[in-house]
Amino acid sequence: MKRAMGTILVLFCCTTLASANSVSGQLAMTPITTGFGPFSDNDNNGWAFTADSPFFVTGLSAYDVGANGFGGDMQVTLWSHSTQTLLASAIIPAAGDGTAWPTTAITPLALQAGNEYSVAAARIDLNAEMWGRWANSDVSFMAPVSGTRQVYGSVAGLFPASDGQPRDGFTSAGGNFTFTTSGAVPEPITLALFSLAACGLGTYVRRRV
């Protein structure tokens, strides 16, 4: 019984750690009108933004027009736009998931207030995929961001260095992400301490048997 209790504690610890990697939170950007498009090309489409307050990115998403799959695997990337540093990357399977915004979980990534970032998506095989463009006034930004604008690059996985047309005031649905506030994500130190405590208790129980 005691041995089983120790095993349960360890398993609970592992489950808690794994929960930090599950897709949680809400979409950062959601179009609220029909917008312009959809267009069909193989650019690495997305949008740049400045974080107004800290938050965690929990998953990377791509726009699936018609919610019927992409025809090829999509690569979504998240960048520090000011330094052109890749922060996270995820593959979304060609079949999608039957929704307009298939999302692949990532280890929660903290974005800092005042820093500029960008997110973009494109098919890995470079074949065309549908995407849309909206005026920022026709987009609901749930994430605490500002200064949003459309960006694009030439190849999936490469930095989206160019501003789209029209440049300022528009957002592309090529790439997106899910987010949550910092308080909703387990603190790494807390998880680590809980893990050590649970594992230590499990060892103690085994020794007592």
For residue 29, give the nearest of 199, 145, 151, 193 by alpha carbon: 145
Distance CA 89, CA 83 (A): 16
CA 69-75-79 angle, 5° bins: 140
Task: Please determine, for residue 209, whether its predicted confidence score (pLDDT) is greater than 70.
Answer: no
The pair phi, psi for residue 10, each rounded to 5°, is -65, -45
At 23 the pLDDT is 66
Residues 37, 70, 132, CA angle at the centre, nearest 5°?
15
Task: Please state which architecture CATH assigns to domain 25-183.
Answer: Sandwich (2.60)
Span 7-59, pLDDT tens digits: 433 333 443 333 334 567 899 998 887 667 667 778 888 999 999 999 999 99
Is the pLDDT confidence value at 108 over 90? yes
